[in-house]
Amino acid sequence: MSTHNELGTKGEMLAVQYLQERGYEILEINWRFARVEIDIIAKQNQTIIFVEVKTRSSEYFGFPENAVDTIKQKNMATAAEEYLEQHNIETDVRFDVVSIVIKKNQPDIHHIQDAFFPYDIGC
């Protein structure tokens, strides 16, 4: 496995642990629809949360959350809609980003709730 894939996998594991420690129920990890993957699907109270995890080893190229561009947001919204339909779920949803920078094996985790709203990007 390449180094960036290992870093991404480590970041996803850290994000799952982080969310679980805060009372989120993890429903899915790396859920796929067509060519789109949602890193984490979680539940908190009655809200389904679709989470994109971005992990970097530095901020040299910017903050990890900046990589969640409009195309990624639209893809996530489409996949989220399919997930809700497949599971016959009608409830509140939220799109979060967990941004992680790991320096010297120390993770700095930044959880951005309501990172974007699909209707703001034309979905």
pLDDT in tens, the chain (123 residues): 556 578 778 999 999 999 999 999 999 999 999 999 999 999 999 999 999 999 988 777 778 888 889 999 999 999 999 999 999 999 999 999 999 998 888 999 999 999 998 765 555
Residue pair 46/92 in contact (Cβ under 8 Å)? The answer is yes
Domain extent for 96: 3-121
CATH code of the domain covering residue 69: 3.40.1350.10
Q: Which residues are CB-contacts of 119 (< 8 A; sequence separation ≥ 6)? A: none
- CA separation for the pair 4, 57 (Å, rounded): 9
Domains contained in the chain, number: 1
Residue pair 109/99 in contact (Cβ under 8 Å)? The answer is yes
Q: In terms of pTM, does the model score above 0.85?
A: yes
